[in-house]
Amino acid sequence: MLNTVYQLVRPRQFEVVFKDITMDDKHVIVHPTHLSICNADQRYYQGLRAEAVLKKKLPMALIHEGIGRVIYDPTGHFEQGTLVVMIPNTPVEQDEIIAENYLRSSKFRASGFDGFMQEYVSMEPDRLVILPEDINLSVAAFTEIVSVSYHAIQRFLRFSHERRNVIGVWGDGNLGYITSLLLKKLLPNTKVCVFGVNEYKLNDFSFVDDTYLVTDIPEDLHLDHAFECVGGAAASKAINQIIDYINPEGTISIMGVSEDLAPINTRMVLEKGLRIFGSSRSGRADFQGLINLYKEHPEVVNHLEKIVGAEIKVRSIADMTKAFESDIHKIMGKTVMIWDN
Ligand SMILES: NC(=O)C1=CN([C@@H]2O[C@H](COP(=O)(O)OP(=O)(O)OC[C@H]3O[C@@H](n4cnc5c(N)ncnc54)[C@H](OP(=O)(O)O)[C@@H]3O)[C@@H](O)[C@H]2O)C=CC1
Ligand SMILES: O=C(CO)[C@H](O)[C@H](O)COP(=O)(O)O
Ligand SMILES: [Zn+2]
């Protein structure tokens, strides 16, 4: 079957290519309906990655956050028309210790191979998870980034000591919003404080216990653990501020992506006996766990509706460019492409 794939060929330039999908009895064909833009897509779109990385990875279809409907399933797992979320991580082996998203052999959509900006996506059935039919479709579109927070919190529960009276979340953007929301739901007795640089963004964090501007943190404030959800050039500043305020033997979860090395105060990491761990991406178990959480706590989805930003109908390359450009200039929230291709 001939498929239309919308690839980024160079920064700010999409082109159409036609690729053959081999129809076999192992792959499910999904028609994407709602796609959400991640900062990682923007780093390719704007050409913010190193020249050598762009040269190696492009041309490539962007987007690793998306949902769609099953068009054809020879494997017998899904009825035609079933609403599914697509899992971008694609493992080729299993390991009893290393999670699927950390296996160096795993491929990831829109990083190592074509993402979801396609007319049809061919996937193995275990890369699809059924969504509730009544879910808000724009929220469902960014299930992947929420599953990344879910994954990091599950690891945090394994790695951190059990005094979890106060947790700090650095970052007043989408990932900070999602992570503090899930922390509040998964650890209801923990005080969650969010630290940011924009008062107007912090005002939206209605479900947390306290918010602070990073320039105005009380000296006597102490945290048991913290999550960094900033990334970019400011990540180093955020991590060092966490190191200043965290209690001894606390755990720091790093989630933000930086292009450059981030110097950190290792002397104080040693003196306080801190544990620092990183998390990237997520796997099937995280998607499943999160969707169960959505079913048990529908109010989580209601809070996530607040970070649905622009919802842009996309039919042409001009519309794709419009969506990515509008995402660059957004104030807050996730840009969702209503995919009509
Ligand atoms: N580990 C993973 O698998 C994933 C990682 N990410 C990464 O996480 C990072 C955050 O993503 P996302 O939330 O979508 O991006 P956003 O840009 O929405 O959020 C970052 C926020 O942090 C704010 N900020 C800047 N400096 C500081 C500071 N010193 N302290 C606290 N907050 C600060 C920014 O404000 P302002 O805009 O005013 O600068 C912005 O609001 C990115 O690097 C992204 O690539 C995302 C998804 C998955
Ligand atoms: O956004 C992410 C997961 O949702 C990750 O940050 C992203 O996959 C990193 O990949 P890349 O190396 O291509 O930036
Ligand atoms: Zn992402």
> What residue segments make up the domains of the chain, in order of their start?
2-143+307-339, 147-278
Please compute the mean of the pLDDT values over residues 170-196 and round it to a whole number: 98
pLDDT-based confidence at residue 282 (cuts at 50, 70, 90) = very high
Decide: 304 and 178 in contact? Cβ < 8 Å: yes
Residue given tokens 């469902």 in the structure block = 140
CB count, 10 Å around CB of 301?
18
Residues with CB under 6 A from ligand 2: 38, 40, 43, 64, 108, 111, 144-145, 148, 257, 280-281
Q: Annotation-wise, does 193 bind a ligand?
A: no
pLDDT-based confidence at residue 88 (cuts at 50, 70, 90) = very high
Ligand 2 atom nearest 38 alpha carbon: 1
pTM value surpassing 0.95: yes
Question: Which residue has the least CA distance to atom 13 on ligand 2?
Answer: 111
In three-state secondary structure terms, 215 is: coil
pLDDT single digits (tens) 55-70: 999 999 999 999 999 9
CB count, 10 Å around CB of 53?
14
- Distance between CA atoms of 287 and 7, rounded to whole angstroms? 26
Ligand 1 atom nearest 177 alpha carbon: 13
Q: What is the pLDDT of residue 278?
A: 98
Computed over every residue of the chain, the mean pLDDT equals: 98
Per CATH, the homologous superfamily of domain 147-278 is NAD(P)-binding Rossmann-like Domain (3.40.50.720)
pLDDT-based confidence at residue 149 (cuts at 50, 70, 90) = very high
Fold of 2-143+307-339: Quinone Oxidoreductase; Chain A, domain 1 (3.90.180)
**Where do runs of H (alpha helix) occur along 160-283?**
174-186, 199-202, 235-245, 266-272
pLDDT-based confidence at residue 51 (cuts at 50, 70, 90) = very high
Q: Annotation-wise, does 64 bind a ligand?
A: yes
pLDDT-based confidence at residue 167 (cuts at 50, 70, 90) = very high
Q: Annotation-wise, does 144 bind a ligand?
A: yes
Please compute the mean of the pLDDT values over residues 76-88 and round it to a whole number: 98
60 vs 18, 183, 297, 339, CA distance in Å? 13, 34, 37, 18
- Distance between CA atoms of 305 and 56, rounded to whole angstroms? 36
- Distance between CA atoms of 216 and 65, rounded to whole angstroms? 35
Question: Which residue has the least CA distance to atom 26 on ligand 1?
Answer: 234
